[in-house]
C-alpha cells in the first residue's frame, strides 16, 4: 500500500489547534503531540500517511483556502542527510567541493543545482551534536572572543543583505540586529550561524557550506565562505528558495532566522519537494471529487446551520453616553497609533565604543529613555596605544523604530549627540593619526606624544580645514611627518 505525504504550496503557517485534531488519529498520537507536529512541520504538514487519511487532511486544507499537494511518498526524491563542505571553489563547469570524510573533491555542475537554501540559524553555543553538525565544528566559533564572533556575524549580515543590488536600498544595516541577537544570547545561550545548502536536481546530493568559516578558493586565495554567496547567486538565482531571496533582498533577519537546525532542514526538504511537484503536478493524484480551478482536492463541505429566530434588538438608550465612548475610543486609538518603540545606537568618535538605548516615543516625542552602557565592538587601536579616560563623544544616532505589535518598522539616522563641530574635526584628525600607525608611517611613541596635542590644537584652531587636509592625505608620504611636526610645536 502506497503512503502519501501532504505538502503546502506556499510558506504559510497553519493553525495547530485546528489541524492537530485532524492529524492526531492518522498519526496515532495525542492531540497535544499532533499540534506540536503541525507547529514544527513547516511546509511538510505530514509524511507517510495512509491514502485515505492524507486525502482527508488535504481536503480540510483546501476547504480553508490553503493550497497543498497530496502526493505519494515514493514520487518524492529521497534526500540524503546534508554533508558538510570543507573547501569550495567556483569554476566554469560548476562548484568543486571537498566534503567531510571524502578524500577526493566532487563537482556539482551549475545546471544540476536544483535548490539553493540560505539559512541563518540560532544554535546553542555548546552541544554535543546539532542535526549533524558536530561539537568540534561549532567549537571553533564558540572559542572565539565575543567581540570577534560579533564582528564575523555583523560582516556576514552586512555582506548578505546587499547581494542583490536592485534591492540594496531596502537592506537594513547589520548594527540594526545587535539588540535582538545580544538579548537572545544572554537569555538562551544561542549564537547565529549561517549556512548555504546546495541540493542537486535529482535529490542525490545535499551539501552544506558554513558561512562563518574560510575555505572558499577565489582566484587561488582562500577567503571567507560568505564571499561565495554572490557567485552562486549570479549563476543560479532562479534556484534560490523564497527565504533565501528575502534575506538577500534585505529582509527582516529576526523573522527569517531559523530557531533550530531541524527547522532549517525541513524547510530545505520542503522547498526541494515543492519545486518537484510544481514542475510536475501530475505526481499529485487528484481526489475522487476534484475542485474546479484547484489542485484536484475536494473542498470540505460546510454544514448548513439553522437560522435562529430571536427578538429584534432594541435600540440602546443614552445618546450622550455613546458619543463619550466613541470619543474615548478615538482618543485611545490616536494615542496607540503614535506609540513607537525605538532601539537607537551611537558610536564614540574617539574609542569607537557603541551604546544601545531603548526609547519609547509618542508621535516622535520621547516618553521614556533608557541609555545603555558603552561596549567594545571589536579590536581598538585607541585602547592599544592611547587608553586614556575621556568623555564619550558622538554626533548622531542610528535607530530602528517600530509601532505597536511591530507595525510599520523603519530604520534611519538622526542628528544630535554631544560633540561640537570642533570636536568632530579633532576626532577625525587623531583617528587619521592612528591609521598612519597601522600603515607604519608613524611609531608608537610619536602617536602617543602627538595624540593629545593634536586633539587640542585642532579643537581650538580657527582654521580646522588645514588640519583636516593634512589628515586626509594618505597618498602624500610627507603628510604624517608634517602633521606630527605641526602637532608637536
| Segment 338-353, tens digit of pLDDT | 888 888 889 898 888 8
* Residue scoring higher pLDDT (35 or 146): 35
Give the Å distances, CA to CA, from 92 to 5, 12, 85, 110, 387: 38, 37, 19, 8, 51
Can you read off the three cell numbers belonging to residue 195? 549556512
Q: β-strand 129-130 against 133-134: which pairing, if any? A: antiparallel
Long-range CB pairs of 289-295 (<8 Å, 24+ gap) are: 291/62, 294/62, 294/67, 295/9, 295/62, 295/67, 295/68, 295/69
* Residue scoring higher pLDDT (195 or 383): 195
| pTM over the 0.75 mark | no
Q: Is the pLDDT of residue 1 over 60?
A: yes
Q: Is the pLDDT of residue 173 over 80?
A: no
Domains identified in the chain and CATH numbers: 3-75 (3.30.1390.10), 83-279 (no CATH), 337-415 (no CATH), 421-488 (no CATH)
Q: Is the pLDDT of residue 300 over 50?
A: no
CB atoms within 10 A of CB 229: 24
| 350-365 residue pLDDT tens | 888 889 889 888 887 8
Q: Could you tell me how many residues make up the chain? A: 489
- Whole-angstrom Cα distance, residue 452 to residue 326? 64
Distance of CA 13 to the CA centre of its chain: 19
Q: How confident is the model at residue 314 (pLDDT cuts 50, 70, 90)?
A: low
- Whole-angstrom Cα distance, residue 241 to residue 233? 11
Least confident of 76-90, 174-188, 269-283: 174-188
Residue 188 has what pLDDT?
Answer: 61
Write out the DSSP string of 94-107.
Answer: EEEEEETT-SS-EE
Return the SS3 of 13: coil
* Residue scoring higher pLDDT (167 or 425): 425
Q: How confident is the model at residue 110 (pLDDT cuts 50, 70, 90)?
A: very high
* Residue scoring higher pLDDT (50 or 462): 50
Residue 251 has what pLDDT?
Answer: 62
- Whole-angstrom Cα distance, residue 86 to residue 218? 15
Q: What is the mean pLDDT of residues 420-431?
A: 85
CB atoms within 10 A of CB 186: 9
Q: How confident is the model at residue 184 (pLDDT cuts 50, 70, 90)?
A: low
Residue 437 has what pLDDT?
Answer: 77
Residue 213 has what pLDDT?
Answer: 86
Residue 87 has what pLDDT?
Answer: 92
Averaged pLDDT score across all residues of the chain: 78
Q: How confident is the model at residue 15 (pLDDT cuts 50, 70, 90)?
A: confident
485, containing H or E segment: helix 479-488
Q: How confident is the model at residue 315 (pLDDT cuts 50, 70, 90)?
A: low
Amino acid at each position: 500500500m502506497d503512503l502519501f505525504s501532504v505538502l503546502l504550496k506556499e510558506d504559510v503557517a497553519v493553525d495547530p489547534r485546528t489541524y492537530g485534531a485532524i492529524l492526531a488519529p492518522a498519526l496515532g498520537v495525542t492531540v497535544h503531540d499532533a499540534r506540536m507536529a503541525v507547529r514544527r512541520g513547516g511546509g511538510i504538514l505530514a509524511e507517510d500517511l495512509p491514502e485515505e487519511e492524507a486525502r482527508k487532511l488535504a481536503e480540510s486544507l483546501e476547504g480553508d483556502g490553503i493550497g497543498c499537494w497530496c502526493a505519494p511518498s515514493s514520487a518524492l526524491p529521497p534526500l540524503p542527510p546534508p554533508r558538510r563542505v570543507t573547501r569550495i571553489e567556483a569554476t566554469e563547469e560548476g562548484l568543486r567541493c571537498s566534503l567531510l570524510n571524502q578524500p577526493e573533491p566532487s563537482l556539482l555542475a551549475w545546471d544540476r543545482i536544483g535548490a539553493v537554501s540560505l539559512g541563518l540559524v540560532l544554535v546553542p553555543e555548546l552541544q554535543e551534536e546539532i542535526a549533524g553538525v558536530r561539537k568540534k565544528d561549532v567549537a571553533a566559533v564558540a572559542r572565539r572572543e565575543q567581540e570577534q564572533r560579533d564582528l564575523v556575524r555583523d560582516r556576514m549580515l552586512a555582506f548578505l543583505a546587499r547581494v542583490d543590488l536592485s534591492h540594496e536600498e531596502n537592506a537594513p544595516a547589520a548594527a540594526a540586529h545587535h539588540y535582538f541577537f545580544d538579548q537572545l544570547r544572554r537569555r538562551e545561550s544561542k549564537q547565529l550561524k549561517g549556512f548555504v545548502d546546495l541540493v542537486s536536481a535529482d535529490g542525490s546530493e545535499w551539501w552544506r557550506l558554513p558561512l562563518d568559516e574560510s575555505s572558499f578558493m577565489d582566484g587561488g586565495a582562500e577567503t571567507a565562505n560568505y564571499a561565495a554567496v554572490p557567485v552562486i547567486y549570479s549563476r543560479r538565482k532562479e534556484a534560490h528558495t523564497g527565504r533565501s531571496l528575502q534575506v538577500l533582498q534585505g529582509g527582516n533577519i529576526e523573522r527569517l532566522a531559523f530557531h533550530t537546525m531541524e527547522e532549517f532542514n525541513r524547510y530545505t526538504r520542503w522547498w526541494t519537494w515543492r519545486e518537484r511537484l510544481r514542475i510536475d503536478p501530475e505526481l499529485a493524484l487528484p481526489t475522487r471529487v476534484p475542485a474546479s480551478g484547484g489542485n484536484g482536492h475536494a473542498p470540505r463541505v460546510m454544514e448548513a446551520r439553522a437560522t435562529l429566530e430571536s427578538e429584534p434588538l432594541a435600540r440602546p438608550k443614552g445618546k450622550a453616553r455613546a458619543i463619550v465612548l466613541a470619543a474615548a475610543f478615538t482618543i485611545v486609538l490616536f494615542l496607540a497609533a503614535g506609540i513607537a518603540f525605538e532601539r537607537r545606537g551611537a558610536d564614540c568618535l574617539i574609542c569607537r565604543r557603541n551604546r544601545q538605548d531603548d526609547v519609547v516615543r509618542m508621535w516622535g516625542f520621547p516618553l521614556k529613555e533608557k541609555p545603555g552602557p558603552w561596549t567594545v565592538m571589536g579590536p581598538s587601536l585607541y585602547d592599544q596605544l592611547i587608553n586614556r579616560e575621556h568623555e564619550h563623544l558622538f554626533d548622531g544616532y542610528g535607530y530602528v523604530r517600530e509601532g505597536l505589535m511591530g507595525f510599520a518598522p523603519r530604520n534611519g539616522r538622526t542628528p544630535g549627540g554631544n560633540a561640537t563641530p570642533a570636536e568632530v574635526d579633532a576626532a577625525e584628525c587623531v583617528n587619521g593619526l592612528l591609521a598612519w600607525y597601522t600603515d607604519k608611517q608613524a611609531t608608537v611613541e610619536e602617536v602617543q606624544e602627538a595624540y593629545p596635542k593634536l586633539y587640542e590644537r585642532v579643537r581650538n584652531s580657527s582654521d580646522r580645514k588645514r588640519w583636516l587636509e593634512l589628515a586626509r592625505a594618505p597618498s602624500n608620504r610627507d603628510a604624517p611627518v608634517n602633521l606630527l611636526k605641526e602637532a608637536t610645536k
